[in-house]
Amino acid sequence: MKKIMALAVAAILLPATTVFAGPPAPHAAGIESKDYQWAKMEGEFKAALDAKGEPKKGEEGYEICGACHLPSGAGRPDGTFPQLAGQHTTVLIKQMADIRMGLRDNPTMYPFAKELVDPQELAHVAAYIESLCIPVDHGKYEGPDAAQQIAKGKELYEKQCVECHKKNGEGDKAKFYPVIAGQHYKYLLRQMTEIRDGHRRNANPDMVKVIKPYTNEQLVAISAYQSSLSMPGSMCKPKAGAKKK
């Protein structure tokens, strides 16, 4: 617990770009390698998927995550830290396992992700995060042309994204496709740009093929639409007295 509190305080006091003292994250061959296999079922990743995660047992382990992603799992509207609440356990386990093994480059998160002691704790924490309701007040596209951007993004989304990420942004748990409903606009835009430009080394090759031809303007529109999605039955209840937008 003392270690968790120390890291949590450091996360609050230090900027997101700070690399914590200690050995650097490992570097595994990713999408740049001809031998790369997305969601390869082996090692810690498979062990965590096979383990039965219990939300209550993952609550304490999540404390170290809550320093950046907030206790609610809401993340930050400016996109520095993603919204996690309600995300599929399979997606959470894959991303944490990829960071821990050096397949996804995230030097800010690595010191925290490696504190989860084993695949069982990974499964417990993922189950706890999945159990959280998805906040309704996440970061959205707020430009004066929001209506037009969302309309353009909806057209693009329904043409090529809906098959995997589904109508309401609920993704597909069995296929490791993430929930994007309730996600911050700026985070979505950054991740899609990094995937398109080859900087997300644990990306799904099928998504890379789809997103590769998109212009910056198209990615803005798609992100604007995606950030407007909500999942019926999964969203948090609006706070009492909150104004409707």
Rg (CA), the chain: 18
Helix, strand, or coil (residue 10):
helix
Q: Looking at the predicted structure, is the pLDDT value of residue 186 above 70?
A: yes
Class of domain 146-226: mainly alpha
Other beta carbons less than 10 A from residue 243's beta carbon: 6
* Residue 124 confidence (pLDDT): 98
Report the distance separating Cα 128 and Cα 20, nearest Å.
26
The model's confidence at residue 117, banded by pLDDT at 50, 70 and 90, is confident
What's the average model confidence in pLDDT over 198-205? 96
The lowest-confidence range among 88-92, 109-113, 121-125 is 109-113
- Say if CB 211 and CB 195 are below 8 A apart: yes
The model's confidence at residue 241, banded by pLDDT at 50, 70 and 90, is low
Q: Looking at the predicted structure, is the pLDDT value of residue 89 above 60?
A: yes
The ranges assigned to domains in the chain are 2-131, 146-226
Contacts for 4 with CB less than 8 Å, ≥ 6 apart: 63, 64, 115
- What angle is formed at CA 153 by the lines to CA 150 and CA 159, rounded to 5 degrees? 145
Average pLDDT of the chain? 90
Q: Looking at the predicted structure, is the pLDDT value of residue 10 above 50?
A: no
What's the average model confidence in pLDDT over 132-157? 97
Fold identical between 2-131 and 146-226? yes
* Residue 239 confidence (pLDDT): 76
Q: What is the pLDDT of residues 231-240, one digit of tens each?
A: 999 999 987 6
The model's confidence at residue 35, banded by pLDDT at 50, 70 and 90, is very high
What's the average model confidence in pLDDT over 38-65? 96
The model's confidence at residue 129, banded by pLDDT at 50, 70 and 90, is very high
CA nearest to 183, candidates 149, 231, 218: 231
Contacts for 61 with CB less than 8 Å, ≥ 6 apart: 116, 121, 124, 125, 128
Report the distance separating Cα 146 and Cα 38, nearest Å.
34
The CATH number fitting domain 2-131, selected from 3.40.50.920, 3.40.50.360, 3.50.30.30, 1.10.760.10: 1.10.760.10
Q: Looking at the predicted structure, is the pLDDT value of residue 190 above 70?
A: yes
Is the alpha carbon torsion for 16, 21, 26, 32 positive or negative? Answer: positive
The one-letter code for the residue type at 11 is A
Q: Looking at the predicted structure, is the pLDDT value of residue 24 above 90?
A: no
